[in-house]
Each structure stands twice: as C-alpha cells, then as structure tokens.
Homo-oligomer: A and B are copies of this chain.
Amino acid sequence: MTAKKTTIKDIANEAGVSIALVSFVMSNQTRDPDERIYKVNEETSRRILEIARRLNYHPNNAARTLRQGKTNTIGVILSDISNKFFADIARCIEDRAYKYDYTVIFGSTDENADKLENLVKVLVDKGIDGLIIVPCAGSERFIASVAESRMPLVLMDRNIGGVDVSSVVLDNRSAMLQAVSTLVENGCTHIEMVGYDMCLSNVLEREEGYRQAMEHLGLGDHVAVHRIDFRNIESQVRSVIGSAVARGVEAFVFGTNTLTISGLKALDELEVSVPEQVRVVGFDDSEAFELYRTSVTYISQPIEQFGQESFDLLMKHIRNRDMQSMTVTLKPQIVEGKSSSKI
C-alpha cells in the first residue's frame, strides 16, 4: 500500500520515457478520453499503465495539491456531530462528497464562537477548497470576514443577516404555521412554544413563525414563548412546562429535537398525559419517538436535501469563484401522529 512509495520517476525509468509523459498518461487516465489534445502512443501508454500497476503507483497528493493549488477537500463545521440531526446531515454530505471525489473534514463548535473561529483557521491552514458552516451566535463578524476572504462558503441550517453569503436553510415560518394549524384543527387555542434563548436565525424565525401563525389564526392573545437556556435544558424545560400546565395550557410546540425530547420527558415526570391532557408537536424525527407511548407529531426536516444542496451549492462556488451568493430554502413537512390529535 504505502511501502517504498513509487513515484512517476520510477515509472519513467522503468519504461524508459520522461516523467512528463508518465504524468500525462496518468492524468489522462481519469479524464474523458475524447478530450485529450495530445494522443500518447497507444502501446507506450499501455506499457506505462502496466508498470504503474505493477509498481503499485499512487500519486502523491501533497505534490499534486502544491502544484495545482486544489486540495479536493472541504471543511464542514457543525454544532455537534454527535447530535442526531447533524450526524445525519454529515452522513449525507460524506456520501455525496465521496461520489465527487471530495474528502470532508468535520468539526464541532458546541455553539461556541471561539471554537468555530479556531476550527475555521485550522481547516483553512490545512488547505481546503471550501467550507460549509453551521454558524453559532457571536460568530457573525468572523463569518463575514471569511466570506470576504473569497473562501467558497455555504452556511447551513442558519444564516446571517447583512452578509453576502450563500446558505441552505429551512422555511421555519412554514414549519411553525403547519404546527400551529394542526393543533388548531384539533381544537386547541392555548398553544405555547418552547424554544431556545439564542440569537440564531432559525431560532428567531421559528419563534416569529409561531407568533404569526397564532395571530393569523386569531389566537394572538394566547401567544407565549418560553426561551430555554442552551446550557441548562432539562431543568428549565421542566419548570416552564410545569407552570404552563398549571395555567391550563392545551398544547406545546417545540422548537428543536432536543427540546422535544426534554419536553416529553418532563410531561412524563409531571404525570401529564399526551395527548389526553396536553397535546404536542415536536421538531425533527427521533429514534426516541419509537419507544414513546404515543406516536409523536413532528415537523420533519428534509435531511438529505440539507446535505445535498449544501454540498452542491458549495461545489458551484468552488468552480465559479465569482458566482452570486444565493439562499436555498427547504420545505418542512408535518408528520401527524397521535400526540397532537383530539382525544
């Protein structure tokens, strides 16, 4: 495999030709044979290829990169690769990149702007052709500077206002409209939302979407949003839900997968039954729903599309450095279970 490292020089010696010719044959091998301008003598070409195989030749990537200034590697910076939502997206990106002969390097920020900054620097130094980033709160200015550096860049899941950069995001307002509408159709009016207390576009849009939906449906008086601190989810969700239930709330809409699971767990602990006493619409699918006593209604995000569109958009930016930035907005879909239904 690695062994003594055969180089084109070895092959050239063995074949009695120049290294240039070897290089030429090797690179033509992977290109459209019709596009080659020069035609290498068939027999010579075959001989070179045969020797390369025999000597177990593997081109040196560093040399090629140094020469071409392209690494065929991209960086993908997520919130946390062990979070199922991001892990699933990571998998899609990995698969797609593999197909296009790209390698991807992942990094996790834990919603920490310093870490994000550091990761980007490491990856840029390492040499990457482009970046997909899930931005976190506080990283706006830094990401703007990355965008200005002309590094091909695509934001995912969240975007940043006032910065000219491409992004792939969810239609969060539509998600919340679907959630609220479904609950209203099932007879709820006291519908409250549990979201994060973070200054992120998706968080804010979901909150805004909830408000708009409520007002649109004539329930403006019942609007109530509970903003949970990211670092202390369980206990906050429990207390928020406890007092809301005491106030006679009829339904909860959750803003993320983690919040949904914490919420259902809290309702269990408070011995509030779903959907008999309180109805629920969650966000994202989860393995955990499979073991829940009731089938869960949730907003389903198009995970595969997130991965695919982000990657494809980044490829476009890499191939055309002067491409205009654009935003791809993906549509969520509500999946109805019993947790939101009339009893």
Interchain nearest-CB distance for A106 vs B (Å): 6
Instruction: State the CA gap A289–B265 with chains docked (Å).
Output: 10
Chain A, interface residues (CB within 8 Å), range: 35 or more
Q: Which of A66-94 contact B (CB under 8 A)?
A: 66, 71, 73, 80-82, 84, 87-88, 90-91, 94
Residue A228 at the chain B interface, CB threshold 8 Å: no
| A56 to B, closest residue via Cβ | B149
Residues of B within 8 A of A312 (CB): none
Residue A235 at the chain B interface, CB threshold 8 Å: no
- Label chain A's interface by main secondary structure: helix
Q: Which of A106, A124, A264, A265 has the most CB of B within 10 A?
A: A106
Interchain nearest-CB distance for A218 vs B (Å): 33
The reply to whether B94 and A81 contact each other, CB–CB distance below 8 Å, is yes
Are A82 and B71 also in contact (CB < 8 A) when A150-B3, A291-B261, A291-B268 are? Answer: no
The reply to whether A1 and B149 contact each other, CB–CB distance below 8 Å, is yes
Instruction: State the CA gap A123–B98 with chains docked (Å).
Output: 11
Residue A63 at the chain B interface, CB threshold 8 Å: yes
The reply to whether A126 and B80 contact each other, CB–CB distance below 8 Å, is no
Residues of B within 8 A of A104 (CB): 105-106
Candidates B62, B91, B149; contact of A81 at CB < 8 Å: B91
Are A105 and B103 also in contact (CB < 8 A) when A1-B124, A2-B151 are? Answer: yes
Residue A122 at the chain B interface, CB threshold 8 Å: yes
Instruction: State the CA gap A58–B122 with chains docked (Å).
Output: 10
A–B pairs, 19, beta carbons within 8 Å? A1-B124, A2-B124, A2-B149, A2-B151, A61-B125, A61-B126, A62-B71, A63-B66, A66-B66, A82-B84, A82-B88, A94-B106, A94-B107, A98-B122, A104-B106, A261-B287, A265-B291, A286-B288, A287-B288
